[in-house]
Amino acid sequence: MGAITQVLVQFVFRLSCGLAISMGVTSSRLVTSGYFRVHLWVLMGANTFAALAAYSARTQLDTPLLTWKWQFGFAVALALASYLAAVIWLYERKQAGTVALVLIGIVALAAALTATPWPTESSGLATVLGVCDVVTGALLLGATMAAMFLGHWYLNTPSMELVPLQRLVILMAVAVVARALLSMTGLVLHWQASDPLQMTFWLFVTFRWLAGILGPLILSRMVWITLKIPNTQSATGLLYAGVILVFLGELVSQLLSGDALFPV
């Protein structure tokens, strides 16, 4: 139970980082303030869940870097910061709101890194790949989620330009490619440094690649083509599917990487 909670808490921190940064780079001139305000409430709710999860499994969440109290504190701080940032957007303070989003993303990245159960003995390469794993995973989760939210927002405000959504789709595709390169590198290194891997491991790796990399990559291309029509409603439906696939792929990746020598 503790390992699952650890994965969920780290997952929320990664999602918070990526979503905050993705919204932070989205043009507040082309997108209405309500988009940022409403989805900061989503971040507040997600980190409230992370705080409750961390507290409920407090005896099992200590990592080599931090005790459960730090993870709990990070989650509470992110929830409060998300609420305050939503208030800033409520009053249309766009520049301050963007700064708040970036700061939330930075704090969430620190939380995700410290919540990662790093091995007590690991090579410098494994550490570098581990940090890149957290960063690219956060970027993929956040870009996909932000794009889905923005696609849904177009249904409420159809007069907005499509450029911000197209940029998020590009960011999503770039993140997928980065994840593919990192996962392939980690998988090859783990395969070379380990005993013969069991069939169960390869089954999960196959699922991770189909759901978390190939699926989102294909969907990002389909969304891009759909936006050329343009049809934001269909694009949003595709992005919903993309969010589900990315969530599944990233969760499986975290579970696999927890027992691997390198992130996969």
Better-predicted residue by pLDDT, 220 or 70: 220
Residue 261's pLDDT is 82
Residue type (1 letter), 37? R
Quick one: tokens of 230? 């343009």
Q: Are residues 21 and 135 in the same domain?
A: no
Q: Are residues 217 and 255 in the same domain?
A: yes
Q: Are residues 264 and 136 in the same domain?
A: yes
Contacts of 142 (CB under 8 A, 6+ apart): 15, 17, 18, 19, 20, 21, 22
Q: Are residues 97 and 126 in the same domain?
A: no
- Which SS3 state, helix, strand or coil, does residue 92 take? coil
Q: Are residues 241 and 126 in the same domain?
A: yes
Quick one: tokens of 208? 């991770």
Q: Are residues 92 and 127 in the same domain?
A: no
Q: Are residues 129 and 256 in the same domain?
A: yes
Q: Are residues 81 and 203 in the same domain?
A: no
- Which SS3 state, helix, strand or coil, does residue 252 take? helix
Neighbouring C-beta atoms of residue 222, cutoff 10 Å: 17
Q: Are residues 234 and 181 in the same domain?
A: yes
Q: Are residues 99 and 229 in the same domain?
A: no
Helices vs. strands in the chain: H and E counts, helices first: 9, 0
Domain count, the chain: 2
Instruction: For residue 221, give the nearest of 160, 178, 154, 174 by alpha carbon.
Output: 174
Residue 194's pLDDT is 78
Quick one: tokens of 76? 């509470």
The mean pLDDT value of the chain amounts to: 93
Better-predicted residue by pLDDT, 67 or 69: 69
- Mean pLDDT, to the nearest integer, of 78-105? 98
Instruction: Please say whether the dihedral angle defined by the alpha carbons of residues 132, 27, 160 and 85, taken in this order, is positive or negative.
Output: positive
Better-predicted residue by pLDDT, 84 or 5: 84
pTM above the 0.85 mark? yes
Domain with 247 in it? 122-264
- Mean pLDDT, to the nearest integer, of 36-51? 98
Q: Are residues 81 and 148 in the same domain?
A: no
pLDDT score of 1 more than 60 = no
Residue 120's pLDDT is 63
Q: Is cis: bond before 263, omega within 30 of 0?
A: no
Task: Tell me which of 70, 100, 117 is where a domain ends.
Answer: 117
Q: Are residues 35 and 58 in the same domain?
A: yes
- Mean pLDDT, to the nearest integer, of 199-211? 94
